[in-house]
Structure 1
Amino acid sequence: MRVISKHDQQELLNMREVISETGKALQAYSEGKTETPLRYSLPYNKDNRYLVMPALSEELGIVGIKTVSYAPRNPQKGKQTIEGSVLLTDYDTGETLAVLDGAYLTKIRTGAISGVATQYLARQNAETLSVIGTGEQAEGLIEAVLAVRAIKRIQFFNRTYDKAVHFAKQINEKYSDIETEVYKDVATAMDNSDIVITATNSSQPVFKGQLAPGTHLNAVGSFKPDMQELPSESVVNADKVVVEATEAALEETGDFFKPIEEGKWSAKDLHGELGRIVSGELAGRESPEEVTLFKSVGLAIVDIVVANYFYNKVVEQDRG
C-alpha cells in the first residue's frame, strides 16, 4: 500500500492531465457508467461535518472512498477548514492500493472540475479572472483556469481584505507574468471580468444582481441548502446553468434552493450536466454574449479518478 502525501501530489501534478482525466470521469458519470451515491453527511461538534463519499466505475476500473472533515472554525485555530483522506482500492482484488491526503486532493479535484467547465463554457479569448473568496480552494481553481485560458489579469475580493492581499501576493509570486489587484468592493472586483470564481463559505449572496454579458462563472462554495453565495438573479438570468451532477446539485445547494423557493427558477431550467457537454451531447458556449454558470458541489467519482491519477504516477516513479 502506498501513502501519497500532499508533497507527493504537488510534485507529481500536471493540471492539464488532471483536467483531461476529470473530463472522462464526468462523461462516464453522465452516461451512467459509475456508481456515485449522494454523499453522507454527519454533523458533529456544532458546525462541523463528517462527509463520506464512496464511488466506483466498472468502465474506468476504479473503486474507492473519500472521507472529509469540514470544520469552519479551524482557520481561527490556524488550521485548514477541510481535512480528509482518499482510500483507493484495487478493482480486481479489493486490496488497498493507496491512502492519499484528502485536503490537497480536494483542492485539485475542485479546481479540475471547474477547469473542465471553463474549457467548454468560457470565451476562448478570456483574459481577466475575478476570484471572490481567497481561502483554501482558490489556488487550485486559479491553476485550473490558467491551464485552459490565457489569463493576463486576476482581480481579488475577500471579506477580510488583508487575507486577499496576502493571497494575491502568493499568486503573483507563482505567476509573475500575470497582473493582480485586490479590491475592497466586490462589484469593482468583478468589473470587466471574463471569468468569475466564487469560492466562499457564505450563507448570503456575495455579490448583487446578474452577470454581465459574456461572463462565465464557476461557483464552488455553497454545498448545503442553507448556504447561498450566488444571488438568485445570477442563476435566473444565465443563458446556461450547468452542473456536474443534477441530483446532487438540486439536493445540496442553496444556490438553487433559494430561486426555486422564490418561484423564479426550476430544475427544468438547467442546461444539463457537464459530462454531457464533454461528450458532445449538449452544446457548450455558443456565442460571445452568452452568460454561462457552472455550479459545482463535488463528485466522488472525480476524487477517485484523481486519486488513481496520482497512484499511477507514484507507481511509475516508485514513490510514496
Structure 2
Amino acid sequence: MLVLSHADVARLLTYEACIPLMRDAMIALSRGRTRQLLRSIIDLDAGRAFGVMPGAMGGQEAFGAKLVSVFPENFAAGKPSHQGVIVVFDASTGAPTAIVDAGEVTAIRTASASAAATDILARPDAARLAVLGYGEQAWRHIEAIRQVRRLTHVTIWGRDRALADALAVRTREIFGIAAVAADDVASAAADADIICTTTAAHDPILDTGHVRPGTHINAVGSSRAGPAEIGNALVVRSRFIADYRAGVLEQGAEFLNARAAGLIGDDHVLGEIGDVMDGKLAGRIAPEDVTIYKSIGHVVQDLASAAWLCAAAGKAGIGANVAF
C-alpha cells in the first residue's frame, strides 16, 4: 500500500495540476459518471467534528472515502484544522491501494475548485479580490485565484485585525500584490470583483448591500447546514450555482436559510458548476450579474486528487510502500 504524507502531497499537488483536475472531476460529477453519498458528520465536543465522505469515480477508476476531523482551534496553534486520510481502493480488485494525507489535499483541492469556478464565472477583467477570513483557506484562495485572474489588489477582513494584517503582509511579500486589511466587511467587499468567504462565521457576515454589480463570490466557509456566511437577500439576488446540487439542497446553509424564509425554491440552485464547465448551463449571463459558487466540497474532488497523486508519486518515486 502506498502512503503519501502531508509533505508528499504538498510537493506533488500544485495548483497548476489541481485546478484542471478539479474542472474534470466536477464535469464528471455533473455528467453522472461518479457516485457518492452525502457526507456524514458527527459533532464532537467544543465545536469539533468528524466527517465521513464515501464515493466512487465510476467505471474502472478509483473508489474510496475520506475520513477527516475538524478541530478549529488548531489554527491558533499553527496546526491544520482539517486532519485525516483518504483511503483509495483499486476498482478492478477491490483492494485498498493507498492512504493519502487528507488535510493537505483538502486545502489544495478546495481552493483549486474555487479557482476553476472563478475562471468560468467571474468577469474576464476581474482583478480585485476580497477575502473574508485569515485562516488556511484564506491563504490558499489567494494562491489559487491568482492562477486564473491577474490580481492587482487583495483586501482581507477578519475579526482579529492583527491576523488580517499579517496575511496582507504575507501576500505583498510573496506575491508582490498590493494587499491591505479592512476594518469591516463592507470596506473589504466594496470594490471587489471577486469575494471569497472562508470564515467560521455562524451567522451571515456578507449581504447584498456589501456587493457591487458584477461580483463573483466563492462561498466556502460553511460546508454544512447551520453556520452561514451569506445573507438571504444576497442569495436571492445571485445566480446561485452549486458544486454538487444534491449536497447543497440538503446541506448548503445559505440556500437553506433563504428557502426556509420563503424567499426561494429549489430551482434557485440553477445547477452545478460542472454543468457550466461542460457548456450545458449558462453561468454569468450579463456583466452586472452577481454569481455565487456554493462550495460544500465533495469526495470526488478528493478521490480525483488522490488518484492523480498516486500516479504522480509512482513516477517520481515519492511516498512509502508498506505491506498490508
Match of 2:207 in 1: 208
Aligned-partner SS, 1:304: helix
Q: 2:180 aligned with 1:181, yes or no?
A: yes
After TM superposition, give the deviation of residue 90 of structure 1 in Å: 1.8
1:17 corresponds in structure 2 to 17
1:224 aligns with: 224
Q: Is contact 1:277–1:284 with CA below 8 Å preserved after alignment?
A: yes
Task: Name whichever of 30-39 and 278-287 sits farther off.
Answer: 278-287
Question: Which amino acid counterpart does residue 61 of structure 2 have in structure 1?
Answer: G
Q: Which amino acid aligns with 1:117?
A: A
Distance 1:23 1:80 in 2: 25
Aligned residue in 2 for 1:82: 82
CA RMSD in angstroms comes to 1.5
Structure 2 gap ranges (5+): 320-324
Q: What displacement does 1:75 show?
A: 3.6
- Assess, with a 3 A threshold, how the Cα gap between structure 1 residues 59 and 23 changes in structure 2: closer, same or farther: farther
Matched, 1:318 2:317: yes
Query: Contact conserved, 2:60 with 2:91, CA < 8 A, in 1?
Result: no
Deviation, structure 1 residue 224: 2.5
Is residue 113 from structure 1 mapped to residue 88 from structure 2 by the alignment? Answer: no
1:29 aligns with: 29
Contact map agreement 2:132 2:196 (CA 8 A) in 1: yes
Q: Shift of residue 59 of structure 1?
A: 4.1
Q: Is the 8 A contact 2:53 2:299 kept in 1?
A: yes
The answer to whether the 8 A contact 2:27-2:277 is kept is yes
**2:200 corresponds to which letter in structure 1?**
N
Q: Which residue of 2 aligns with 1:122?
A: 122
Structure 2 distance, partners of 1:151, 1:98, is: 37
Q: Please name the residue that 2:265 is paired with.
A: 266
Q: Residues 42-98 of structure 1, C-alpha deviation per residue, up to 9 Å, x if partnerless?
A: 122242211001111224712121011012333455533211111122221223322
Report the TM-score when normalising by structure 2.
0.94
**More off after superposition, 298-307 vs 2-11:** 2-11
Match of 2:286 in 1: 287
Give the match for residue 100 of structure 2: 100
Give, in angstroms, the shift of residue 16 of structure 1: 2.6
Higher mean C-alpha displacement, 101-110 vs 59-68: 59-68
Moved more, 202-211 or 23-32: 202-211
Alignment of 1:48-67 (within 5 A): 48-59=48-59, 61-67=61-67
Q: C-alpha offsets along residues 248-267 of structure 1, whole Å, 9 cap, x if unaligned?
A: 11211321121111111221
Aligned structure 1 segments of 4 or more residues deviating by more than 3 angstroms: 73-79
Amino acid at match of 1:50: F
User: Whole-Å Cα distance in 1 between the matches of residues 78 and 316 of structure 2?
Assistant: 34
**Partner in structure 2 of residue 148 of structure 1:** 148
Matches of 1:144 and 1:75, distance apart in 2? 20
What is the deviation of 1:192? Answer: 1.2
Deviations 1:2-25 (A, max 9, x none): 221222222223313211111111
Query: Structure 1, unaligned stretches of length 5 or more?
Result: none
Report the AA paired with residue 317 of structure 1.
A
- The alignment covers a number of residue pairs equal to 318
Indicate conservation of the 8 Å contact 1:23/1:278, yes or no. yes
1:67·1:85 contact (CA, 8 Å) conserved in 2?
A: yes
Residue 17 of structure 2 is aligned to residue 4 of structure 1: no
Q: Which residue of 1 aligns with 2:297?
A: 298
* Aligned position for 1:234: 234
Distance 1:305 1:110 in 2: 12
> In structure 1, what residue type is equivalent to 2:86?
V
Letter in 2 for 1:294: Y
